[in-house]
Amino acid sequence: MHCNHNSNINMQDGFVNGFGQLRVKDVKAATLDLWKALGINNRATFRLYLKGLREMRVSQAENVKAVFKAYGITKNIWGNE
């Protein structure tokens, strides 16, 4: 059901890789920042985006990238390997 029209951002695979690079002390704050970036307010929806089970709009993906950049993570954000 995922389309691969936007091959330069592989957001269809979620952002587990980027989330896994967060420092433990930053996880709670970054999670709240990511919720705001995605425009969501619950863990269930966050998990869907995190795992790539819900497709992001390009604007959401750009917001997610900005959150990770604020925490010093700029590479290997997308995917779940």
Contact at 8 Å (CB) between 73 and 64?
no
Q: Give pLDDT tens digits for 54-63.
A: 999 999 999 9
Measured between alpha carbons, how far is 24 from 59 in angstroms, rounded to an integer? Answer: 27
Q: Give pLDDT tens digits for 36-76.
A: 999 999 999 999 999 999 999 999 999 999 999 999 999 99
Measured between alpha carbons, how far is 78 from 81 in angstroms, rounded to an integer? Answer: 9
Measured between alpha carbons, how far is 71 from 80 in angstroms, rounded to an integer? Answer: 19
